[in-house]
Every structure is written in C-alpha cells, then in structure tokens.
C-alpha cells in the first residue's frame, strides 16, 4: 500500500503558508505600534487630542480587515503562495484590495473620493498612512518614508494642503528616526 507523505499534503502546505502570513501580519502590527509611538510623539503639536486618540484606536486595529474572509485567502495566496499556487496564474487581489481600502481610510487611493479637506479629520488618515509607511520601512531595513512618498506622490490626489502636511510631517519624522 502506498503511504501518504506529509510533505506532499497540500493542506499542510496551506496551513504552513497561512502561519507564515499571520507571522508577517503580527510583525507588521508590532512595527505599527513602534512607528505609531514615534510618529505620534513627533507630530503631537500638529494634532488635536481627539486626533491622537483616534490614531491610537487605528493603530490598535490596523489592518484587522486582513483577517476577514474577504481578504485573508487572497492576500495569503498573493504574498505567501504554496508551490501548487505558484504553478497557476498569479492571484489577483481585486476584490480583496477594494475591501481592504474600504475598511482602511489611510490608503491614499481612497482620497480621490473620500478625503474631506473642510475639516481636520483628513490629518488622521494622513498620519496613519505615514505610520504604515514607517512600519513598512522597518521591515525592509530602510528609512525610506520620504523616498517612498517621492516615488508615488504624482499618483496621489493633488491637494497641496495634504501634500504640504505629508512633506512637513516626513521631515519631522525623519529628523528623529
């Protein structure tokens, strides 16, 4: 009788890749906490107490939607695929990315529609975005917040007030990091 080999078991491989993805998410959230503490310290004079409280809540719930059914499998397959998944076509995030943006206002791709400049709440979205960028730079072993901003700023909504706030904030952040 032929024996079942654990290393051939697709379910075990999916579980292993899911654990790897969860470990990545855990590290990202730890980086969000560290980056959040840095950014909120640096920008405390530019933000109201209400905005700081809101940012604490956002950091504590950052990317929680990636654990939802609508996102988890698509993101896991895209960034932590099994060998069997690699042999097919590259997973498209499509719906998962749209779902993620809808639950996470800090993504600038939302701002073409959502950003309300007539009140100061937009700063919370911008600061969470900066926290996310700084957290990602920790994972990459770089301090590339300004470099990343420079690479995407032309794709972002063109509101000069927003860009000035982002640039000024990055200068303050990079002075301390």
CA distance 78 to 81: 6
Average pLDDT for the chain: 87
Whether residue 117 is predicted with pLDDT greater than 70 in this model: the reply is no
- Environment class of residue 87 by beta-carbon count within 10 Å: exposed (0-12), middle (13-18) or buried (19+)? exposed
Q: Is a pLDDT exceeding 70 seen at residue 84? A: yes
Instruction: Assess contact for 62 and 136: CB atoms under 8 A.
Output: no
Q: How many CB atoms neighbour CB 116 within 10 A?
A: 10
| Domain extent listing, the chain | 8-176
Mean local confidence (pLDDT), 147-166: 88
Looking at 16-25, 35-44, 103-112, which range is the least confident one? 103-112
**Pair 99, 23: CB distance under 8 Å:** no
Distance of CA 87 to the CA centre of its chain: 27
Choice between 90 and 117, residue whose per-residue pLDDT is larger: 90
């Amino acid at each position: 009788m032929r024996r079942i080999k654990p290393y051939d078991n697709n379910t075990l491989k999916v579980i292993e890749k899911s654990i790897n993805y969860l470990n990545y998410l855990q590290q990202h959230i730890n980086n969000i906490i560290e980056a959040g503490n840095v950014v909120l310290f640096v920008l405390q004079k530019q933000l109201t107490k209400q905005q700081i409280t809101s940012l604490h809540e956002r950091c504590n719930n950052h990317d929680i939607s990636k654990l939802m059914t609508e996102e988890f499998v698509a993101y896991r397959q895209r960034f932590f695929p099994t060998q069997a998944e690699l042999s097919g076509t590259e997973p498209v995030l499509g719906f998962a990315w749209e779902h993620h943006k809808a639950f996470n206002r800090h993504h600038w791709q939302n701002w073409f529609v959502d950003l309300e400049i007539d009140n100061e709440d937009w700063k919370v979205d911008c600061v969470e975005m900066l926290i996310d960028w700084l957290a990602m730079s920790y994972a990459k072993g770089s301090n590339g917040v300004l470099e990343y901003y420079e690479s995407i700023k032309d794709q972002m909504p063109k509101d000069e007030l927003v860009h000035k706030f982002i640039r000024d904030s990055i200068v303050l952040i990079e002075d301390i990091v």
